[in-house]
Chains A and B, each alone.
Chain A
Amino acid sequence: MRATSTPRFQKPSETDQFPNEYDLPTDLIQDQIQRQQAPIRTFIINQAAAGVKEIDYPGRAFAVFSYTGGVVNANPAIQIAINENYPDRTVVPQDSRGFRGSFYRLFLNWPLIANTTTYLVIFESSEDPFVRFA
């Protein structure tokens, strides 16, 4: 890193607006409202019966969140093929896990797990969409 002649103890400007990291762009918020845009698309899968589903919905990441009787189900065992329905493009994510990268289509294949509901969440943002602090 190179040294500069920037004064270390600068005096805040009294007339200019400061580009604060906490500012929210009103144009982007307005755009979301006008286009009724949601940053995620969720598909809720009832695993009371086995099934398959093709989801023609592009995204930049997906993750699964599964519950059995209201308690987290660590392994919903859903097979998810990305873009094309081939075994060599298939992942089986555990709870709270998924894939990050642009895709245009998903193929789901899930087994019967009684009393289990699994959320498949597709994220649209180009930024890191998922937070877990624990």
Chain B
Amino acid sequence: MYGQNPSGNYKRFQKPAEGEVYPSEYDFSSGLINDLQQRDLAPIIVQTFNLATASPAGGIKLAMPGRAFVGYGYTTTDTFKSPQNFRIDVAINQQSVANETVFPCDISRGFRGLFHTLYLTWAAQAGLSVDFVIFRSKRKPWMSG
């Protein structure tokens, strides 16, 4: 029948319901916004490191649980933080002698999955800094580098 799919229970040109609320993808949950405000909850945590000198022996320990992390490198003196290549090794949850838990964090490249502790180590990289971002949302974080 014209205007219906073969199963006959779907109207292509449906009449909007009057007097009922339509659950739009653009609606925001006021409960979520209120919860964010009340608990002063930050969706990300940013740690900035100057890579001019090598990391301290044993690395930097970040005991900050999260669901994803990524680093954004830039020239230290660049106010606009244009992307620059860099290199940090990030051990996830634990360190090992053979570096078996290390993820090589590179320009705008990171890891997604729940973790509780990160250990950052790097060699000296003259003139470079990195904004290391930990994401907390269970949704897939996305951002153009």
Q: Hey, which bits of chain A sit against chain B, CB under 8 A?
A: 1, 3-13, 18, 20-22, 24-25, 28-29, 32-33, 36-44, 65, 67, 70, 72, 96, 119, 121, 123-125, 127-134
Does B103 lie within 8 Å of A9, measured CB to CB?
Answer: no
Q: In the complex, which range does the number of interface residues on chain B fall in?
A: 35 or more
Q: Given A9-B30, A32-B115, A130-B112 in contact, is the A40-B92 Cβ separation under 8 Å?
A: yes
Q: Does B12 contact A (CB under 8 A)?
A: no
CA of A38 to CA of B103 in the docked complex: distance in angstroms? 11
User: A5, A39, A124: which has the most chain B beta carbons within 10 Å?
Assistant: A39
Contact of A3 among B17, B107, B143, B144 (CB under 8 A): B17
Q: Which residue of B27, B87, B101 contacts A8 across the interface (Cβ within 8 Å)? A: B27
Partner of A40, one of B34, B70, B103: B103
- Contact residue among B85, B110, B139 (Cβ-Cβ distance under 8 Å from A21): B139
**Which one of A12, A33, A119, A129 has the highest number of Cβ atoms from chain B below 10 Å of its Cβ?**
A12
- Name the one of A7, A20, A38, A134 contacting B36, with C-beta atoms under 8 angstroms: A20
**Complex contacts, B111 vs chain A, CB 8 Å:** 39-40, 129-131
